[in-house]
Amino acid sequence: MRRTGPLVVAFIMGFAMIFQYFIPHPLSQKFYEIMVQQWLIIISIFLYLFGLRSFTLYHYHKVRRKKEGWYFSLIALLAALITVIIGFGTRRGPLFDKIYDYILAPLQATMFSLLAFFIASAAYRAFRARNLEATLLLVTATIVMLGRVPFGAFMWHKLPDVVEWILKYPNMAAQRGILIGVGLGMIATSMKIILGIERSYLGGE
Amino acid sequence: MSTNPWVWVAAFLTLAIYSFLYKDNPVYRFAEHIFMGVSVGYGLVLFWYNSVIPRLWEPLVKGTEPTRFFLLIPILIGALTFSLFVPRYSWLVKYTLAFVVGASAGLSIPLSFETNIFEQVRSTILTRQMLSGWGMVSNLIMFIGVIVTLAYFYFSMEHKGVIGKTARIGRIYIMIAFGASFGYTVMARVSLLIGRMQFLLHDWLGIIK
């Protein structure tokens, strides 16, 4: 019951979801709608609540035990609480939108743009033309970067077309090879889960 | 200079994040934790209005009898997560996980076949049309590229002889793809950086028009 039960559930659900895809009957489509658009979302509500609980408890304990940097945890909790109060209080009104426009979006964009600096310094260290492969990586990255800015077109008007060709053909060829590999890997892992060979999601068995 | 207090808030947070370029400091960590908290709060509100209300609350309140009855099943499965609070019955949460993981695995198999394999193979296969005109060389480069990349990831045979040579060409393709991805990512980040600079110099300080 404790070990076999969940494996049976995973097996039934897995095969049910595979079969419904290949049965073009209204009942099968209804089953898909109910499962994916209702049941799984409803269950995810409970899982989301657990994630929220982990966030709250982690920072609450840090504040309560006055651990190092506890005041930052307090700020995180207060920021979450205030956002929730404004969101529910105004029913996602204009003030809630302002939180997105002037706090969340700028913070997100700035955080990601910060990577531009680190990626540049990392590239400086990693991109040394030591062998053919490293040289190809360096040259392609440089061409793509130059071709994406007006200065590249100013240097050679055909450069944007060259970049487009690199992205469309040799780049896409390797990406496709990788995608096919990823797809095969996903199918194999999913089959292992459905057949009960892969059980780590149930707690390291 | 802007007189909108919200613009000042955004400018302060932007500069606070950029202060990390000097070193890790309390101002950066303040902005970082604001980001974390606001993201969680914002996510919760959106989740409530986009998932809980339309998928659970409204069908429960306004739905017909059979609909309500059927909703009890996922509610029951989801509620099993609360068994984690009672150590003796905490194993019940495995049923919830098995349901979600099993269904997701089942869903991903036909989806992977369709998008990752069939669609990619279909787009790679050379047709007579593709082998005529100027695009022939490019299409051949693409076709060979997919084959040699797959050969590089084929580990059931030792990479020696023909397989080894093919895999080596595959590695060249992969390096070109990684270089292109890297260049593309850098440019995306630089675009974001330009956006933030424009915000600071135009929207906030009004230095540039």
A111 to chain B: which residues are within 8 Å by CB? 17, 35
pLDDT of B108 reads 95
User: Looking at per-residue confidence, does A77 or A200 come out higher?
Assistant: A77
Q: Which of A18, A37, A189 sits opposite B106 (nearest CB)?
A: A18
Band (pLDDT 50/70/90 cuts) for residue A204 is low
Q: Mean of the pLDDT values across residues B162-180? A: 94
* Residue A75 exposure: Cα atoms within 13 Å on the Cβ side: 15
Angstrom distances, CA of residue A14 to CA of B16, B63, B108: 47, 28, 9
Give the range among A187-191, B13-17, B98-102, B135-139 with minimum mean pLDDT.
B135-139
Q: Could you give the ipTM of this predicted complex?
A: 0.84
pLDDT of A52 reads 92
A11 to chain B: which residues are within 8 Å by CB? 102
Q: Which of B19, B149, B165 to mutate to test the interface with A (most CBs of A within 10 A)?
A: B149
Q: Which of B174, B202, B203 to mutate to test the interface with A (most CBs of A within 10 A)?
A: B174
The contacts of residue B74 (CB under 8 Å, 6+ apart) are A38, A39, A40, A42, A43
pLDDT of B129 reads 75
* A201: in domain: no
- A67: phi then psi, degrees, rounded to nearest 5: -70, 165
Place of tokens 């509610």: B75
Q: Which of A10, A114, A193 sits opposite B17 (nearest CB)?
A: A114
Q: Mean of the pLDDT values across residues B145-159? A: 92
Alpha-carbon span B91 to A125, nearest angstrom:
49
Domain count, chain A: 2
* A97: in domain: no
pLDDT of B66 reads 83
pLDDT of A120 reads 78
A14 and A78 fall within a common domain = yes
Taking CA–CA distances from A201, the nearest residue in chain B reads: B97
pLDDT at A195 over 80: yes
Contact B96 A43 (CB under 8 A): yes
Alpha-carbon span A106 to A204, nearest angstrom:
40
Q: Which of B45, B175, B192 sits opposite A83 (nearest CB)?
A: B45
B38 to chain A: which residues are within 8 Å by CB? 79-80, 83, 99, 103-104, 107
Contact A193 B143 (CB under 8 A): no
A88 to chain B: which residues are within 8 Å by CB? 45, 48
* A117: in domain: no
* A96: in domain: no
A84 and A157 fall within a common domain = no
A2 and A79 fall within a common domain = yes
Report pLDDT digits (tens) over A140-152: 999 999 998 888 8
Contact B189 A44 (CB under 8 A): no
A14: containing domain:
1-89
A1 and A71 fall within a common domain = yes
pLDDT at B69 over 90: no
Give the range among A122-131, A151-160, A169-178, B78-87 with minimum mean pLDDT.
A122-131
Q: Mean of the pLDDT values across residues A21-47? A: 91
B41 to chain A: which residues are within 8 Å by CB? 79-84, 87
Alpha-carbon span B25 to A170, nearest angstrom:
43
Q: Which of B49, B79, B110 sits opposite A18 (nearest CB)?
A: B110
Band (pLDDT 50/70/90 cuts) for residue A26 is very high
* A101: in domain: no
CB contacts < 8 A, A to B, total 375
pLDDT of B38 reads 97
* Single residue among A89, A115, A148 that ends a domain in this structure: A89
- Max intra-chain CA distance, chain B: 71
Residue type, B9: V
Taking CA–CA distances from B145, the nearest residue in chain A reads: A173
* A138: in domain: yes
Report pLDDT digits (tens) over B41-64: 999 999 999 989 998 899 888 888
Band (pLDDT 50/70/90 cuts) for residue A178 is very high
Report residue B8 as tokens.
């000042």
* Single residue among A89, A112, A136 that ends a domain in this structure: A89
Q: Which of A77, A171, A198, A205 to mutate to test the interface with B (most CBs of B within 10 A)?
A: A171
Average pLDDT, chain B: 92
- Write the DSSP string, chain A: --SHHHHHHHHHHHHHHHHHHH--SHHHHHHHHHIIIIIHHHHHHHHHHHHHHHHHHHHHHHHHTT-TTHHHHHHHHHHHHHHHHHHHHTTS-HHHHHHIIIIIHHHHHHHHHHHHHHHHHHHHHH----SHHHHHHHHHHHHHHHHTSHHHHHH-TTHHHHHHHHHHTHHHHHHHHHHHHHHHHHHHHHHHHHTTS--GGGT--
* A59: in domain: yes
pLDDT at A111 over 70: yes
Report pLDDT digits (tens) over A82-99: 999 999 999 999 999 999
* A107: in domain: no
pLDDT at A205 over 70: no
pLDDT of B25 reads 94
Q: Mean of the pLDDT values across residues B146-161? A: 92
A6 and A60 fall within a common domain = yes
Report pLDDT digits (tens) over B127-143: 777 777 778 888 899 99
Taking CA–CA distances from B187, the nearest residue in chain A reads: A145
